[in-house]
């Protein structure tokens, strides 16, 4: 939507007073000072085996694994269960824009459209750790006992989030405006968002997707004669199960700790994932600025045309003699800044429509 100036009858009354201001739409763009703190969590239970990297021909001095505390021979696979966990906080600088329709006289606001690129061409990387559970086994070369019931936590690799974005969902966004006494207004409400992500786990692509989130929002709107400044906080939280099937991990080299940190047990890990759950929690702190939009573009599609005229007539016919915003916070037919829909609004819109938008 191009930045265009709002004209018409605003000059008839003092600007930006709680008693006189009707719905005003602003197109705001996020500024570079905006931040997103993302807390990623991946949970992936799996089953598999550990076996020493011994081979009679190619690695005769390698590690051998034997089940139980005593006896046995050869090199035996040890059944294990394993939980993969990722949990690391990251910060990015998002990009994006939104249109907000504010009506301080009615104490309401609504967001008409929104898009947020939460990564803004960056990639979030987080180390993966794995907790292994097993029955008692021992190793040779080096000799060490691993007692069942004592889990081992080891580094396993890296998880990456390559896409994380949000758009306004079908439920929209509405909330309340409260004057702060200094010309600004406090926002409180909730936004229906569609959040999209793509990720990889252990260098394997994990099918992403789009999930709906009801996100609490708050902030401060400071209008001026030509536009507005918005500080905005949005909290996003969701857990989704990534659809399978998942490729197995086969013969992944792994070092098991022993009492000698310079002489670990060398084993090969084979795993099959049962499922992968990914949790994304984001705290968005944004600063956005932008212009007041044109009064004659009442449907906020970026142009003033016959559709705006028809939308106004349809709304006005159901709203005459009603308080603003009417028929909705996004399509408010109170255009003369008095907080009430009457014949004066009709005349003012006709004048604004005949002038058109730059």
pLDDT in tens, 235-266: 988 787 776 677 788 898 999 999 999 999 99
Positive or negative torsion for Cα 49, 52, 56, 58: positive
Determine which of 15-29, 77-91, 202-216 has the lowest per-residue pLDDT on average.
15-29
The backbone torsions φ and ψ at residue 236, rounded to the nearest 5 degrees and listed phi first, read: -120, 130
Cα angle 284-164-282, degrees, rounded to a multiple of 5:
30
Q: Are 319 and 327 in contact (CB under 8 A)?
A: yes
- Sign of the CA dihedral running 199, 201, 205, 210: negative
- The pLDDT score that the predictor gives to residue 334 is 81
Q: Output the pLDDT for position 329.
A: 72
Round the average pLDDT of the chain to a whole number and report it: 84
pTM, two decimals, is 0.70
Please check whether residue 193 is in contact with residue 215, taking contact to mean a CB–CB distance below 8 angstroms.
Answer: yes
Closest CA to 115 of 171, 187, 43, 169: 169
Domain boundaries, the chain: 8-298
Which band of pLDDT confidence, cut at 50, 70 and 90, is reported for residue 143? very high
pLDDT band at residue 60 under the 50/70/90 scheme: very high
Secondary structure of the chain in HEC code, one letter for each residue: CCCCCCCHHHHHCCCCCCCCCCCEEEEEEECCCCEEEEEEEEEEEEEEEEEECCECCCECCCCEEEECCCCCCCCCCEEEEEEEEEEEEEEECCEEEEEEEEECCCCEEEEEEEEEECCCCCCEEEEEEEEEEECCEEEECCCEEECCCCCEEEEEEEEEEEEEEEEEEEEEEEEEEEECCCCCEEEEEEEEEEEEEEEEECCEEEEEEEEEEEEEEEEEEEECCCEEEEEEEEEEEEEEEECCCCCCEEEEEEEECCCCCCCCEEEEEEEEECCEEEEEEEEEEEEEEEEECCCCCCCCCCCCCHHHHHHHHHHHHHHCCCECCCEECCEECCCCCCCECCHHHHHHHHHHHHHCCC
The β-bridge relationship of strands 24-30 and 95-103 is antiparallel
Average pLDDT over residues 27-50: 89
Q: Which percentage of the chain shows pLDDT scores above 90?
A: 39
The size of the chain, in residues, is 358
pLDDT in tens, 293-342: 888 888 787 788 898 888 889 988 988 888 877 887 777 788 876 778 89
């Amino acid at each position: 939507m191009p930045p265009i100036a709002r004209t018409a009858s605003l000059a008839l009354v003092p600007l930006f007073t709680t008693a006189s201001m009707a719905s005003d739409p602003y197109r705001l763009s996020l500024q570079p000072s905006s931040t997103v703190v993302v807390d990623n969590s991946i949970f992936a239970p799996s089953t598999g085996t550990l076996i020493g990297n011994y081979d009679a021909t190619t690695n005769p001095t390698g590690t051998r694994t034997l089940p139980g505390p005593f006896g046995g021979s050869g090199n035996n696979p040890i059944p294990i269960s394993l939980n993969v966990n990722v949990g690391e906080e990251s910060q990015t600088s998002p990009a994006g824009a939104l249109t907000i329709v504010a009506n301080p006289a009615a104490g309401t606001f609504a967001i008409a459209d929104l898009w947020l690129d939460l990564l803004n061409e960056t990639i979030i990387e987080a180390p993966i750790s794995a907790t292994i559970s097993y029955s008692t086994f021992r190793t040779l070369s080096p000799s060490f006992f691993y007692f069942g019931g004592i889990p081992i936590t080891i580094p396993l690799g890296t998880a990456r989030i390559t896409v994380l974005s949000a758009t306004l969902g079908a439920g929209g966004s509405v909330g309340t405006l409260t004057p702060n006494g200094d010309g600004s207004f406090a926002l409180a409400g909730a936004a229906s968002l569609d959040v999209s992500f793509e990720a990889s786990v252990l260098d394997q692509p994990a099918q992403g997707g789009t999930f709906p989130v009801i996100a609490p929002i708050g902030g401060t709107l400071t209008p001026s004669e030509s536009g507005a400044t918005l500080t905005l906080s949005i909290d996003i939280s969701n857990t989704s199960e990534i659809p399978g099937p998942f490729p197995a991990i086969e013969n992944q080299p792994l070092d098991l700790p022993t009492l000698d940190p310079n002489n670990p047990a060398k084993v090969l890990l084979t795993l099959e994932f049962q499922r992968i759950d990914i949790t994304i929690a984001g705290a968005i702190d944004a600063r956005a600025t932008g212009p007041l939009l044109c009064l004659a573009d009442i449907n906020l599609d970026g142009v003033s045309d016959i559709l705006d005229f028809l939308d106004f007539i349809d709304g006005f016919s159901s709203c005459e003699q009603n308080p603003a915003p009417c028929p909705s916070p996004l399509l408010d037919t109170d255009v003369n800044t008095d907080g009430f829909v009457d014949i004066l609004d009709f005349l003012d819109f006709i004048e604004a429509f005949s002038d058109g938008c730059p």
